[in-house]
Structure 1
Amino acid sequence: MFAGHFGLAAAVKAKTPNVPLWALMLSTQLLDVVFVPLLLSGAETLESVAGEGYGGSLIHADYTHSLIGALLLAILAGWGAGKLWRRRGGVAVGSVVFSHWLLDLLVHRADMPLFPGNAGGFPLLGFGLWQVPTLSILLESALVLLGAVLYYRSVMAAAERSHRGWAVAAGGIMGLLLTLALVTDVYG
Protein backbone atom coordinates (compact mmCIF):
# COMPACT_ATOMS: atom_id res chain seq x y z
CA MET A 1 0.00 0.00 0.00
CA PHE A 2 3.04 2.27 -0.27
CA ALA A 3 1.71 3.84 -3.47
CA GLY A 4 -1.69 4.48 -1.90
CA HIS A 5 -0.05 6.23 1.04
CA PHE A 6 2.02 8.37 -1.33
CA GLY A 7 -1.07 9.15 -3.44
CA LEU A 8 -2.85 10.45 -0.36
CA ALA A 9 0.17 12.61 0.54
CA ALA A 10 0.15 14.12 -2.98
CA ALA A 11 -3.57 14.87 -2.63
CA VAL A 12 -3.00 16.59 0.73
CA LYS A 13 -0.14 18.61 -0.79
CA ALA A 14 -2.66 20.05 -3.24
CA LYS A 15 -4.63 21.43 -0.28
CA THR A 16 -1.72 22.52 1.94
CA PRO A 17 0.79 24.29 -0.28
CA ASN A 18 2.79 25.66 2.67
CA VAL A 19 3.87 22.15 3.74
CA PRO A 20 6.73 20.76 1.62
CA LEU A 21 5.98 17.65 -0.41
CA TRP A 22 8.91 15.80 1.20
CA ALA A 23 7.35 16.35 4.64
CA LEU A 24 4.02 14.91 3.55
CA MET A 25 5.70 11.95 1.82
CA LEU A 26 7.73 11.24 4.96
CA SER A 27 4.63 11.70 7.13
CA THR A 28 2.64 9.17 5.19
CA GLN A 29 5.39 6.60 5.76
CA LEU A 30 6.38 7.60 9.31
CA LEU A 31 4.88 4.47 10.91
CA ASP A 32 6.98 2.32 8.56
CA VAL A 33 10.09 4.49 9.06
CA VAL A 34 9.85 3.94 12.83
CA PHE A 35 9.02 0.26 12.18
CA VAL A 36 12.39 -0.40 10.48
CA PRO A 37 14.67 0.02 13.55
CA LEU A 38 12.15 -1.93 15.64
CA LEU A 39 12.18 -4.68 13.00
CA LEU A 40 15.99 -4.72 12.98
CA SER A 41 16.06 -4.95 16.78
CA GLY A 42 13.50 -7.80 16.80
CA ALA A 43 10.89 -5.78 18.73
CA GLU A 44 8.59 -5.98 15.69
CA THR A 45 8.60 -8.73 13.05
CA LEU A 46 7.39 -9.78 9.59
CA GLU A 47 6.05 -13.23 8.83
CA SER A 48 5.57 -14.37 5.22
CA VAL A 49 2.27 -15.97 4.32
CA ALA A 50 2.89 -18.94 2.02
CA GLY A 51 1.56 -18.56 -1.50
CA GLU A 52 0.68 -14.89 -1.10
CA GLY A 53 2.25 -12.13 -3.17
CA TYR A 54 0.74 -8.67 -2.88
CA GLY A 55 0.52 -7.92 0.84
CA GLY A 56 1.82 -11.40 1.58
CA SER A 57 3.04 -10.82 5.13
CA LEU A 58 1.68 -10.75 8.62
CA ILE A 59 3.20 -7.66 10.16
CA HIS A 60 3.73 -7.90 13.88
CA ALA A 61 4.19 -4.16 14.40
CA ASP A 62 2.75 -4.11 17.88
CA TYR A 63 4.10 -0.65 18.65
CA THR A 64 4.20 1.41 15.45
CA HIS A 65 1.00 0.04 13.97
CA SER A 66 -1.07 -0.14 17.13
CA LEU A 67 -3.94 2.35 17.20
CA ILE A 68 -2.51 4.20 20.20
CA GLY A 69 1.06 4.04 18.88
CA ALA A 70 -0.05 5.51 15.54
CA LEU A 71 -2.01 8.25 17.32
CA LEU A 72 1.01 9.14 19.47
CA LEU A 73 3.31 9.31 16.43
CA ALA A 74 0.72 11.42 14.59
CA ILE A 75 0.40 13.84 17.52
CA LEU A 76 4.18 14.18 17.88
CA ALA A 77 4.69 14.72 14.15
CA GLY A 78 1.79 17.16 13.98
CA TRP A 79 3.15 19.12 16.92
CA GLY A 80 6.60 19.36 15.32
CA ALA A 81 5.16 20.29 11.94
CA GLY A 82 2.99 22.94 13.58
CA LYS A 83 6.17 24.61 14.86
CA LEU A 84 7.49 24.75 11.29
CA TRP A 85 4.36 25.31 9.19
CA ARG A 86 1.81 26.70 11.63
CA ARG A 87 -1.32 25.03 12.93
CA ARG A 88 -2.81 24.07 9.57
CA GLY A 89 0.47 22.45 8.49
CA GLY A 90 0.68 20.58 11.79
CA VAL A 91 -2.87 19.28 11.45
CA ALA A 92 -2.14 18.20 7.86
CA VAL A 93 1.05 16.35 8.82
CA GLY A 94 -0.53 14.70 11.87
CA SER A 95 -3.53 13.64 9.80
CA VAL A 96 -1.34 12.21 7.06
CA VAL A 97 0.68 10.25 9.64
CA PHE A 98 -2.51 8.77 11.10
CA SER A 99 -3.96 8.09 7.64
CA HIS A 100 -1.29 5.38 7.31
CA TRP A 101 -2.95 3.43 10.12
CA LEU A 102 -6.43 3.90 8.63
CA LEU A 103 -5.36 2.69 5.18
CA ASP A 104 -3.45 -0.22 6.70
CA LEU A 105 -6.58 -1.17 8.66
CA LEU A 106 -8.34 -1.73 5.33
CA VAL A 107 -5.66 -3.90 3.73
CA HIS A 108 -3.88 -5.72 6.57
CA ARG A 109 -4.99 -9.08 7.80
CA ALA A 110 -5.90 -9.05 11.49
CA ASP A 111 -2.42 -8.09 12.73
CA MET A 112 -2.87 -4.56 14.12
CA PRO A 113 -3.32 -4.17 17.89
CA LEU A 114 -5.22 -1.44 19.71
CA PHE A 115 -2.50 -0.80 22.30
CA PRO A 116 1.30 -0.85 22.02
CA GLY A 117 2.70 -4.32 22.65
CA ASN A 118 -0.86 -5.63 22.31
CA ALA A 119 -1.42 -4.73 25.97
CA GLY A 120 -4.65 -6.24 27.20
CA GLY A 121 -4.64 -8.92 24.53
CA PHE A 122 -7.56 -7.39 22.65
CA PRO A 123 -8.42 -8.88 19.24
CA LEU A 124 -6.12 -7.72 16.46
CA LEU A 125 -7.59 -5.51 13.74
CA GLY A 126 -7.47 -5.58 9.94
CA PHE A 127 -10.08 -6.09 7.24
CA GLY A 128 -7.73 -8.16 5.05
CA LEU A 129 -8.32 -6.47 1.72
CA TRP A 130 -4.90 -7.75 0.59
CA GLN A 131 -6.54 -11.17 0.43
CA VAL A 132 -8.69 -9.83 -2.42
CA PRO A 133 -5.88 -8.52 -4.65
CA THR A 134 -8.11 -7.10 -7.39
CA LEU A 135 -10.11 -4.99 -4.96
CA SER A 136 -7.00 -3.94 -3.06
CA ILE A 137 -5.24 -2.90 -6.28
CA LEU A 138 -8.31 -0.93 -7.37
CA LEU A 139 -8.40 0.94 -4.06
CA GLU A 140 -4.70 1.72 -4.23
CA SER A 141 -4.99 2.76 -7.89
CA ALA A 142 -7.83 5.13 -6.99
CA LEU A 143 -5.65 6.76 -4.30
CA VAL A 144 -2.76 7.08 -6.75
CA LEU A 145 -4.99 8.59 -9.43
CA LEU A 146 -6.63 10.99 -6.97
CA GLY A 147 -3.25 12.13 -5.66
CA ALA A 148 -1.78 12.56 -9.13
CA VAL A 149 -4.78 14.52 -10.44
CA LEU A 150 -5.06 16.81 -7.42
CA TYR A 151 -1.31 17.43 -7.35
CA TYR A 152 -1.25 18.19 -11.08
CA ARG A 153 -4.19 20.59 -10.78
CA SER A 154 -2.59 22.37 -7.83
CA VAL A 155 0.77 22.92 -9.55
CA MET A 156 -0.97 24.11 -12.70
CA ALA A 157 -3.12 26.55 -10.68
CA ALA A 158 -0.09 27.88 -8.80
CA ALA A 159 2.13 28.28 -11.87
CA GLU A 160 2.27 31.57 -13.67
CA ARG A 161 1.71 31.38 -17.41
CA SER A 162 5.45 31.59 -18.10
CA HIS A 163 6.09 28.55 -15.86
CA ARG A 164 3.35 26.25 -17.14
CA GLY A 165 5.88 23.96 -18.82
CA TRP A 166 7.56 23.29 -15.47
CA ALA A 167 4.18 22.70 -13.85
CA VAL A 168 3.21 20.16 -16.51
CA ALA A 169 6.56 18.42 -16.02
CA ALA A 170 6.20 18.39 -12.21
CA GLY A 171 2.67 17.00 -12.42
CA GLY A 172 3.71 14.41 -14.97
CA ILE A 173 6.71 13.31 -12.94
CA MET A 174 4.55 12.96 -9.81
CA GLY A 175 2.05 10.86 -11.77
CA LEU A 176 4.85 8.68 -13.14
CA LEU A 177 6.44 8.18 -9.71
CA LEU A 178 3.10 7.28 -8.14
CA THR A 179 2.42 4.82 -10.96
CA LEU A 180 5.85 3.23 -10.55
CA ALA A 181 5.23 2.93 -6.80
CA LEU A 182 1.94 1.15 -7.55
CA VAL A 183 3.60 -1.24 -10.01
CA THR A 184 6.29 -1.98 -7.41
CA ASP A 185 3.60 -2.64 -4.77
CA VAL A 186 1.70 -5.04 -6.99
CA TYR A 187 4.61 -6.90 -8.60
CA GLY A 188 7.19 -6.61 -5.82
Structure 2
Amino acid sequence: MFAGHFGLAAGVRAKAPEVPLWALMLATQLLDVAFVPLLLTGAETMDDKGGSGYGELVIHADYSHSLLGALIIAFLAGLLAKRIWGGKAGRIIGAVVFSHWILDLVVHRADMPLLPGNLGDLPLLGFGAWRFEGASIALELILLAAGFVMYARSVLRKSSDGRGMNAAILSSAVLGTLLLFSLVTDVAGLF
Protein backbone atom coordinates (compact mmCIF):
# COMPACT_ATOMS: atom_id res chain seq x y z
CA MET A 1 0.00 0.00 0.00
CA PHE A 2 3.05 2.23 -0.25
CA ALA A 3 1.80 3.98 -3.40
CA GLY A 4 -1.82 4.29 -2.29
CA HIS A 5 -0.75 6.46 0.64
CA PHE A 6 0.69 9.00 -1.80
CA GLY A 7 -2.55 9.10 -3.77
CA LEU A 8 -4.45 9.94 -0.61
CA ALA A 9 -2.00 12.77 0.15
CA ALA A 10 -2.48 14.24 -3.34
CA GLY A 11 -6.26 14.17 -2.89
CA VAL A 12 -6.02 15.86 0.50
CA ARG A 13 -3.83 18.57 -1.03
CA ALA A 14 -6.64 19.41 -3.44
CA LYS A 15 -8.94 20.11 -0.49
CA ALA A 16 -6.32 21.67 1.80
CA PRO A 17 -4.06 23.89 -0.32
CA GLU A 18 -2.76 25.63 2.79
CA VAL A 19 -0.77 22.50 3.68
CA PRO A 20 2.36 21.95 1.55
CA LEU A 21 2.25 18.89 -0.68
CA TRP A 22 5.63 17.70 0.60
CA ALA A 23 4.31 17.76 4.17
CA LEU A 24 1.26 15.69 3.18
CA MET A 25 3.45 13.20 1.30
CA LEU A 26 5.74 12.86 4.32
CA ALA A 27 2.79 12.65 6.71
CA THR A 28 1.17 9.83 4.80
CA GLN A 29 4.42 7.82 5.06
CA LEU A 30 5.42 8.89 8.58
CA LEU A 31 4.65 5.51 10.16
CA ASP A 32 7.00 3.87 7.65
CA VAL A 33 9.60 6.58 8.30
CA ALA A 34 9.38 5.72 12.02
CA PHE A 35 9.60 2.02 11.12
CA VAL A 36 13.02 2.35 9.42
CA PRO A 37 15.17 3.19 12.48
CA LEU A 38 13.23 0.64 14.52
CA LEU A 39 13.95 -1.95 11.82
CA LEU A 40 17.64 -1.01 11.72
CA THR A 41 17.94 -1.38 15.50
CA GLY A 42 16.08 -4.70 15.50
CA ALA A 43 13.14 -3.40 17.55
CA GLU A 44 10.88 -4.14 14.56
CA THR A 45 11.47 -6.79 11.90
CA MET A 46 10.32 -8.15 8.56
CA ASP A 47 10.44 -11.73 7.36
CA ASP A 48 10.00 -13.18 3.91
CA LYS A 49 8.54 -16.57 4.88
CA GLY A 50 5.58 -15.82 2.64
CA GLY A 51 7.81 -14.53 -0.17
CA SER A 52 9.37 -11.19 -0.99
CA GLY A 53 7.05 -9.88 -3.70
CA TYR A 54 4.24 -7.36 -3.52
CA GLY A 55 2.51 -7.67 -0.15
CA GLU A 56 4.26 -10.93 0.77
CA LEU A 57 6.63 -9.70 3.47
CA VAL A 58 5.39 -10.22 7.01
CA ILE A 59 6.01 -6.99 8.86
CA HIS A 60 6.46 -6.98 12.61
CA ALA A 61 6.05 -3.24 13.18
CA ASP A 62 4.90 -3.70 16.75
CA TYR A 63 5.60 -0.11 17.76
CA SER A 64 5.29 2.17 14.73
CA HIS A 65 2.22 0.40 13.33
CA SER A 66 0.41 -0.42 16.55
CA LEU A 67 -2.88 1.42 16.92
CA LEU A 68 -1.65 3.38 19.94
CA GLY A 69 1.75 4.00 18.34
CA ALA A 70 0.08 5.36 15.20
CA LEU A 71 -2.16 7.61 17.27
CA ILE A 72 0.84 8.98 19.20
CA ILE A 73 2.86 9.62 16.02
CA ALA A 74 -0.18 11.29 14.40
CA PHE A 75 -0.76 13.45 17.48
CA LEU A 76 2.88 14.58 17.63
CA ALA A 77 3.00 15.31 13.89
CA GLY A 78 -0.25 17.26 14.21
CA LEU A 79 1.18 19.33 17.07
CA LEU A 80 4.28 20.15 15.03
CA ALA A 81 2.21 21.09 11.98
CA LYS A 82 -0.03 23.27 14.16
CA ARG A 83 3.02 25.23 15.35
CA ILE A 84 4.24 25.71 11.78
CA TRP A 85 1.04 26.20 9.73
CA GLY A 86 -1.79 26.64 12.24
CA GLY A 87 -4.55 24.58 13.82
CA LYS A 88 -6.35 23.44 10.68
CA ALA A 89 -3.12 22.22 9.10
CA GLY A 90 -2.24 20.43 12.34
CA ARG A 91 -5.52 18.53 12.31
CA ILE A 92 -5.08 17.68 8.62
CA ILE A 93 -1.50 16.44 9.08
CA GLY A 94 -2.51 14.39 12.13
CA ALA A 95 -5.39 12.81 10.19
CA VAL A 96 -3.19 12.07 7.17
CA VAL A 97 -0.56 10.42 9.39
CA PHE A 98 -3.25 8.23 10.96
CA SER A 99 -4.74 7.42 7.55
CA HIS A 100 -1.63 5.30 6.97
CA TRP A 101 -2.73 2.95 9.76
CA ILE A 102 -6.28 2.74 8.37
CA LEU A 103 -5.09 1.87 4.86
CA ASP A 104 -2.57 -0.63 6.24
CA LEU A 105 -5.36 -2.25 8.25
CA VAL A 106 -7.09 -3.03 4.96
CA VAL A 107 -4.09 -4.62 3.23
CA HIS A 108 -1.96 -6.13 6.00
CA ARG A 109 -2.54 -9.65 7.15
CA ALA A 110 -3.19 -9.87 10.89
CA ASP A 111 0.16 -8.41 11.98
CA MET A 112 -0.82 -5.01 13.42
CA PRO A 113 -1.03 -4.85 17.23
CA LEU A 114 -3.30 -2.61 19.24
CA LEU A 115 -0.64 -1.63 21.77
CA PRO A 116 3.08 -0.96 21.23
CA GLY A 117 5.17 -4.10 21.48
CA ASN A 118 1.92 -6.07 21.39
CA LEU A 119 1.60 -5.41 25.10
CA GLY A 120 -0.96 -7.76 26.63
CA ASP A 121 -0.64 -10.14 23.68
CA LEU A 122 -3.96 -8.88 22.30
CA PRO A 123 -5.24 -10.09 18.90
CA LEU A 124 -3.39 -8.69 15.91
CA LEU A 125 -5.36 -6.79 13.28
CA GLY A 126 -5.37 -6.76 9.48
CA PHE A 127 -7.94 -7.62 6.82
CA GLY A 128 -5.35 -9.16 4.49
CA ALA A 129 -6.20 -7.62 1.12
CA TRP A 130 -2.61 -8.33 0.07
CA ARG A 131 -3.63 -11.99 -0.22
CA PHE A 132 -5.59 -10.90 -3.29
CA GLU A 133 -2.87 -9.18 -5.30
CA GLY A 134 -5.10 -7.98 -8.14
CA ALA A 135 -7.65 -6.46 -5.77
CA SER A 136 -4.94 -4.82 -3.69
CA ILE A 137 -3.26 -3.32 -6.75
CA ALA A 138 -6.65 -2.12 -7.99
CA LEU A 139 -7.30 -0.44 -4.63
CA GLU A 140 -3.95 1.36 -4.84
CA LEU A 141 -4.61 2.37 -8.42
CA ILE A 142 -8.00 3.80 -7.43
CA LEU A 143 -6.39 5.81 -4.61
CA LEU A 144 -3.68 7.07 -6.97
CA ALA A 145 -6.09 7.96 -9.76
CA ALA A 146 -8.57 9.70 -7.45
CA GLY A 147 -5.79 11.64 -5.71
CA PHE A 148 -4.24 12.64 -9.02
CA VAL A 149 -7.53 13.76 -10.55
CA MET A 150 -8.42 15.77 -7.46
CA TYR A 151 -4.98 17.39 -7.39
CA ALA A 152 -4.87 18.14 -11.12
CA ARG A 153 -8.38 19.63 -11.13
CA SER A 154 -7.48 21.78 -8.14
CA VAL A 155 -4.30 23.27 -9.61
CA LEU A 156 -5.81 23.69 -13.07
CA ARG A 157 -8.88 25.43 -11.63
CA LYS A 158 -6.65 27.87 -9.74
CA SER A 159 -4.83 28.80 -12.92
CA SER A 160 -7.90 28.94 -15.15
CA ASP A 161 -7.37 32.66 -15.69
CA GLY A 162 -4.40 31.79 -17.90
CA ARG A 163 -1.70 32.83 -15.48
CA GLY A 164 0.35 29.88 -14.37
CA MET A 165 -1.44 27.39 -16.63
CA ASN A 166 1.83 25.94 -17.91
CA ALA A 167 3.11 25.54 -14.34
CA ALA A 168 -0.16 23.87 -13.31
CA ILE A 169 0.01 21.43 -16.22
CA LEU A 170 3.67 20.67 -15.50
CA SER A 171 2.97 20.25 -11.79
CA SER A 172 0.12 17.84 -12.52
CA ALA A 173 2.18 15.88 -15.05
CA VAL A 174 5.12 15.53 -12.68
CA LEU A 175 2.91 14.44 -9.79
CA GLY A 176 1.04 11.97 -11.99
CA THR A 177 4.30 10.49 -13.23
CA LEU A 178 5.66 10.15 -9.69
CA LEU A 179 2.44 8.55 -8.45
CA LEU A 180 2.48 6.03 -11.27
CA PHE A 181 6.19 5.36 -10.68
CA SER A 182 5.48 4.73 -6.98
CA LEU A 183 2.85 2.14 -7.89
CA VAL A 184 5.09 0.38 -10.42
CA THR A 185 8.01 0.20 -7.97
CA ASP A 186 5.68 -0.90 -5.17
CA VAL A 187 4.12 -3.73 -7.19
CA ALA A 188 7.48 -4.78 -8.66
CA GLY A 189 9.02 -4.82 -5.17
CA LEU A 190 11.81 -2.45 -6.16
CA PHE A 191 11.56 -0.27 -3.04
Partner in structure 1 of residue 80 of structure 2? 80
Distance 2:12 2:49 in 1: 33
Instruction: Give the alignment of 1:80-159 within 5 angstroms.
Output: 80-159=80-159
Matched, 1:18 2:18: yes
Partner in structure 1 of residue 164 of structure 2? 163
| CA apart distance, 1:51 | 4.0
Give structure 1 regions of 4+ aligned residues with deviation exceeding 4 angstroms: none
RMSD over aligned CA atoms reads 1.0
Give the AA of the match of 1:163.
G
Give the AA of the match of 1:172.
A
Give the AA of the match of 1:40.
L
The Cα offsets for residues 65-114 of structure 1, whole Å up to 9 and x where unpaired, read as 00000000001101110111111101110000000000000000110000
| CA apart distance, 1:169 | 1.1
The Cα offsets for residues 127-177 of structure 1, whole Å up to 9 and x where unpaired, read as 110010011011000000011001101111222412111101111111111
Partner in structure 2 of residue 179 of structure 1? 180
The Cα offsets for residues 19-52 of structure 1, whole Å up to 9 and x where unpaired, read as 1111000000100101100000000000113346
User: How many residues of Structure 1 are paired with residues of Structure 2 in the alignment?
Assistant: 188
Distance 1:13 1:19 in 2: 7
Partner in structure 2 of residue 42 of structure 1? 42
Distance 1:14 1:83 in 2: 22
Give the AA of the match of 2:10.
A
DSSP 3-state at the match of 2:75: helix
Partner in structure 2 of residue 70 of structure 1? 70
Flag structure 2 segments of 5+ consecutive residues without an equivalent.
none
Is contact 2:109-2:129 (8 Å) kept? yes
Distance 2:144 2:178 in 1: 10
Give the AA of the match of 1:179.
L
Partner in structure 2 of residue 5 of structure 1? 5
Distance 1:162 1:155 in 2: 12
Is contact 2:51-2:57 (8 Å) kept? no
Give the AA of the match of 1:178.
L
TM-score between the two structures when normalised by the length of structure 2: 0.96
| CA apart distance, 1:120 | 0.7
Give the AA of the match of 1:3.
A
Is contact 2:151-2:172 (8 Å) kept? yes
Distance 1:79 1:7 in 2: 24
DSSP 3-state at the match of 2:33: helix
Distance 1:23 1:68 in 2: 22
